[in-house]
Amino acid sequence: MAEKHAILVTGAAGFIGFHLSRKLCSLGYAVTGIDNLNDYYEVSLKEARLGILKNTEGFSFHKLDITDKKAIDSLFEKSKFKYVVNLAAQAGVRYSLTNPYAYLESNLHGFLNILEACRHNKVEHLVYASSSSVYGANKTMPFSVHHNVDHPISLYAATKKSNELMAHTYSALFNLPTTGLRFFTVYGPYGRPDMALFIFTKAILEGKPIEVYNHGKMKRDFTYVDDIVEGIVRLIPTVPKGEKSWNGATPDAASSFAPYRLYNIGNNSPVELMHFIEVIEDKLGKKAVKNLLPIQEGDVPETYADVEALTEAVGFKPSTSIETGIGNFISWYKEYYKK
């Protein structure tokens, strides 16, 4: 990279934000990271990620909440970002059943602040995290960005679908190029403690039973974090343009007359939860005590990503096997927690 492009990563102390920020720094970007370091899960893990980032050349950090419009506007005016990657959000499907207002505040109000700041500061491309959860009640597999997604089954999913709609509005009204990324069950080292891999690993090592929903028949398109990061990195300079062939009489959901695109980033290979657990057991050398339960409210039984649009756009699709990915996670977990 001839010049150091200024890029903002929101949610930089988060799981994906941490890995993305490190990769961008290694590629020569000047990365500004922001995070509010909230306590949705253990803050010490966020601080550990941040400790590594703060020792990374090309990275600077501001403790900021994207819901703080004044602080966000001030940062954008000073920093002149070329690109913005918005990963800051209230995450988790189940938490939205008990704390709905947290989702509206961060995922809608916060995202609006980012859109407004991008619009007024001539950002060249906003890339933002959506989620595979937007597919909701859809049954056609694999999930395609060309499918209609109007039947979410969790408030979290509804806020992510809302982000896509808000982004389209800004692309259409203000010619702001936006790209939405629907992530499929991301896992890997420094992962989130509220995710299955983390919960199962911890419980198995401690000899405690694990809760296996839908009697283990759930299928997830588990996607290794390095694959997610590679997809994002390739898409950042791939600035969308309006599609001249786009037709409102037969609208394509993944593109637009405006500079707006949507992509799935998933492994394109769904794995049954019971097999996922078997791989963890194998890597740990220890069997799990399983408590089989019915499916939870807000959960979908299966996710499966069609990544054809991503492959066409940037010549890449995720391919890390769960055996490799889980092995890497467990090696990290044992070292980090001294197990």
CB 119 within 8 A of CB 281: no
Of 129, 119, 169, nearest to 10 by C-alpha is 129
Please state, in angstroms and rounded to a whole number, the distance separating the CA atoms of residues 339 and 335: 7
Q: Of the listed 29, 83, 156, 190, which one is catalytic?
A: 156
Tell me: cis bond preceding 237? Omega within 30 of 0 counts: no
Reply yes or no on whether 156 is catalytic: yes
Please state, in angstroms and rounded to a whole number, the distance separating the CA atoms of residues 332 and 318: 21
CB 151 within 8 A of CB 192: no
Annotate the chain with three-state secondary structure: CCCCCEEEEECCCCHHHHHHHHHHHHCCCEEEEEECCCCCCCHHHHHHHHHHHHCCCCEEEEECCCCCHHHHHHHHHHHCCCEEEECCCCCCCCHHHHCHHHHHHHHHHHHHHHHHHHHHCCCCEEEEEEEHHHHCCCCCCCECCCCCCCCCCCHHHHHHHHHHHHHHHHHHHHCCCEEEEEECCEECCCCCCCCHHHHHHHHHHHCCCEEEEHHHCCEECCEEHHHHHHHHHHHCCCCCCCCCCCCCCCCCCCCCCCCEEEEEECCCCCEEHHHHHHHHHHHHCCCCCEEEECCCCCCCCECCECCHHHHHHHCCCCCCCHHHHHHHHHHHHHHHCCC
Q: Residue 302: what are its φ and ψ, rounded to 5°?
A: -150, 145
Catalytic residues: 156
